[in-house]
Amino acid sequence: MPAANTCPVCDRPATGEHHPFCSQGCRDRDLIQWLDGNRAIPGPPAEETED
Ligand SMILES: [Zn+2]
């Protein structure tokens, strides 16, 4: 069982400094992706009722 200590963003070996990422850039990218995923909550469709 290999100890896969790889960056979840780019699959490069993670460094101790930025663990579990390989660099500050991948840290930011992961955070942005996380925020994007969280933000992707579609609001209710605008309802227009006509009588
Ligand atoms: Zn990376």
pLDDT at 51: 77
How far is ligand 1, taken at its centre, from the CA of residue 24, in Å? 8
The torsion angle over the Cα atoms of residues 13, 17, 23 and 29, rounded to 10 degrees, is 110
pLDDT at 2: 47
Domain boundaries, the chain: 1-37
- What is the rounded distance in angstroms from the CA atom of residue 9 to the CA atom of residue 15? 13
- What is the rounded distance in angstroms from the CA atom of residue 32 to the CA atom of residue 36? 6
How far is ligand 1, taken at its centre, from the CA of residue 20, in Å? 9
Rg for the chain (alpha carbons), in Å?
A: 19
How far is ligand 1, taken at its centre, from the CA of residue 39, in Å? 23
How far is ligand 1, taken at its centre, from the CA of residue 40, in Å? 24
Q: What percent of the chain has pLDDT over 90?
A: 49
How far is ligand 1, taken at its centre, from the CA of residue 30, in Å? 9
Q: Are 26 and 7 in contact (CB under 8 A)?
A: yes
- Who contacts 42 (Cβ-Cβ below 8 Å, separation ≥6)? none
Q: Give residue-wise pLDDT tens across range 25-48.
A: 999 999 998 898 877 666 777 777
